[in-house]
Structure 1
Amino acid sequence: MASRNWIDLAQDADTGIETIRAHFRGHAYDPHWHDSYLIGVTEQGVQQFSCRQQRHISTPGQVFMLEPGEIHDGTAPSAEGFTYSMLYLDPQWLERELHALFEQAPAACQPGFASTLLGDAPLAQATLQAFQALHGNELRIVRQTALDGLLAQMTAHLHWRQTSQLDPRLPLVAQRARDYLHAHVHDDIGLDDLARVSGVDRFRLSRAFKAAFGMAPHAYLIQLRLAKARHLLARGETPAQVASALGFADQSHLGRWFRRAYQLTPADYRKRCTNHPD
């Protein structure tokens, strides 16, 4: 029998945008987050996922949009599974392009997605056209035209918020702990370290952190390291080098977590992004 799941991944050299077309049956991936903006289209089947404390059901032709840091999972509730095409948009690239193309984009603000799941046929078509142009490595002018078309369709679903380190919707305790994790991502961090900088005991810290970010501090730290691992692997560093740099016990430890989050091994991801052999 053919493999239940498959992933076809590529990276655009000019923009750094990753394009992924994948098929999953049953459980697709554990809760995780990315440091990119995600926009994709469900092509076939039913895609079920949780995000923003809601359960979403995406059917063929629907567009899903996720902001950096938004925790989501994935599963196929029906036997035939689901297929989707998706783009990972670098935040700096997206903000730069939006400010360059659209004069109404406010200064000192960052874009966000008003909705997670949309039934917007023109946006779905623009997403698939951008995916096909980048994934197929079309002429640069074709790729740029397709991306401009995608940005134009996305603007109807964007909202802008003031760029700030602090989010008034989240408890300060959890945000202090998160900032500490980002600043010490390479270190062997303990809950007592996070409790100390947050000013509460570690039990209250753990409850506040999970309520704010949807996962425990240790799981968040692993996701943070995995996001950084993707960047290092895409630059050509070996899985062994990445595991050592990011505080994983060894290459196998990195590999186990990487596969659970992305359904790819670190070596396979590196090869698809760089064309370097394993």
Structure 2
Amino acid sequence: MTTHNWIDLTQDADTGIETLRAHFKGHAYDPHWHDSYLVGVTEQGVQQFNCRRAKHQSTPGKVFLLEPGDIHDGEAPTEDGFTYRMLYLDPQWLERELSALFEDAPLNSQLSFATTLASDTRLAHAISLAFEALHGAELRIVRQSALDGLLERLTTHLHWRTRYAEDPRMPRVAQKAREYLHANARYDIGLDQLAAATGVDRFRLTRAFKAAYGIAPHAYLVQLRLATARRLLARGELPATIAMELGFSDQSHLGRWFVRAYGLTPALYRKRCSNLPDR
């Protein structure tokens, strides 16, 4: 991490919610995704990112809302950089907690944000209160009250959408390639091997995959491994063990990719989330 960039991250023991406050100048992070719902507020500067085939610019007070699997990057288009605070909400926790406030889920559905970027001062305030309560390790009743306030405001931006078995918006060849990558993420997969599994040549496969998901198959595979590494690190597993399990050549190889995607090292992320000492 460069001297002009910084990250402050903690994890709430009761809910598993990660709270992150960070500042970046220039390039912040490469395209990647999370298994969580991301709910955040830009504090300062212009936070520019690509997501869902569009470029977004979040300015102070704006709320950004990302679903699990939303591929996004980050950069500062202005010299002063940008600062933001964010909550990572576990999907199962969110659905369970919303059950008292939100309509029952239809069959085969999942929670979805109506927009990626919102101007909602009440939601921005609720996010900040929840962030401060969790990040500052306030009394449990204070943390729970702040989260309840956040959930009440979030319901105005959430809806149930059909959980696609096959997304009709995506070419079938791209979906087949994605399924193959998920099933074989720990192996040293070649592009020719992936093309054979989808029944097209490498060039058609790469074009279809990029058109569907915004990144090439090799980049998607790396991000898939990183998302898994992030989960395992939060549980307290060691970076060296994870690197071996997920097909990285060694711990430093995992570390280089992890920093590019998330802005901090695997060891630091593990320490902040698990409170376990390095070994």
Smaller-chain TM-score bracket: over 0.9
Tell me how far 1:133 sits from its aligned partner. Answer: 1.2
Q: Which residue does the alignment assign to 1:171?
A: 171
Relative to structure 2, which stretch is displaced further, 113-122 or 159-168? 159-168
In structure 1, the partner of 2:263 is: 263
Structure 1 residue runs without a partner (length 5+): none
> In structure 2, what is the equivalent of residue 147 of structure 1?
147
Equivalent-residue separation in structure 2 for 1:107 and 1:131 (angstroms): 32
Q: 2:182 maps to what in 1?
A: 182
Find the aligned partners of 1:16 and 1:247 in 2 and give their Cα distance. Answer: 27
SS state at 2:212 partner: helix
1:121-180 deviation line (CA, Å, top 9, x unaligned): 001011111111111112222222211211111111112111232111111111111111
CA distance in 1, matches of 2:92, 2:263: 26
Amino acid at match of 2:32: H
8 Å CA contact retained: 1:98, 1:105? no
2-structure distance, mates of 1:64, 1:73: 13
State whether residues 102 and 155 of structure 2, in contact with CA within 8 Å, keep that contact through their aligned partners in structure 1. no
Matched, 1:203 2:209: no
Q: Distance in 1 between matches of 2:10 and 2:60?
A: 23
Offset, 1:277: 2.4
Please provide the CA RMSD for this pair: 1.4
Residues 254-274 of structure 1 deviation map (CA, whole Å, 9 limit, x = unaligned): 011001111101111111111
The AA in structure 2 aligned to 1:237 is E
Between the aligned partners of 1:228 and 1:4, the Cα distance in structure 2 is 28
Report the 3-state secondary structure (helix = DSSP H, G, I; strand = E; otherwise coil) of the residue aligned with 2:97.
helix
What is the number of equivalent residue pairs in this alignment?
A: 277
Deviations 1:155-206 (A, max 9, x none): 1111211123211111111111111111111111112222222222221111
* CA offsets 1:72-114 (integer angstroms, 9 cap, x no match): 1111122211110001111121122223432354343101111
Check whether the contact 1:43–1:85 (CA below 8 A) recurs between aligned residues: yes
Cα distance in 2 for partners of 1:185, 1:141 equals 41
Q: Does 1:157 align with 2:149?
A: no
The answer for the alignment partner of 2:44 in structure 1 is 44
- 1:236 match: 236
Tell me if structure 2 keeps the 8 A contact 1:29–1:73: yes
The AA in structure 1 aligned to 2:44 is: Q
Q: What do the CA deviations read for 1:28-55 (whole angstroms, capped 9, x no partner)? A: 1111111111110001111111111111
Q: Secondary structure at the match of 1:35?
A: coil
Which deviates the most, 157-166 or 256-265? 157-166
SS at match of 1:187: coil
| Corresponding residue SS for 2:64 | strand
Of stretches 90-99 and 224-233 in structure 1, the one that deviates more from structure 2 is 90-99
With normalisation by structure 2, the TM-score equals 0.95
Where do 1:6-155 residues align within 5 Å? 6-155=6-155
**Contact 2:32 2:71 (8 Å CA) reproduced:** yes
SS at match of 1:8: strand
The one-letter amino acid paired with 2:181 is L
Among all aligned residue pairs of Structure 1 and Structure 2, give the percentage whose two residues are the same amino acid: 72
Decide whether the 8 Å contact of 1:233 with 1:269 is kept in 2: yes
1:101 aligned counterpart, secondary structure = coil
What is the alpha-carbon distance in structure 2 between the residues aligned to residue 210 and residue 15 of structure 1? 36
The residue identity in structure 1 corresponding to 2:65 is M
The aligned amino acid for 2:151 is L
Distance in 2, Cα, partners of 1:181 & 1:7: 31
Q: In the alignment, which residue of structure 1 is the partner of 2:226?
A: 226
Question: In structure 2, how many angstroms separate the alpha carbons of the residues matched to 1:149 and 1:107?
Answer: 27
- Mapped to 2, the partners of 1:260 and 1:109 lie a distance apart of 33
> Contact 1:47–1:76 (CA<8 Å) still a contact in 2?
yes
Between 220-229 and 196-205, the greater mean CA deviation after superposition: 196-205
Query: How far apart are the structure 1 equivalents of 2:216 and 2:103?
Result: 41
Moved more, 216-225 or 150-159: 150-159
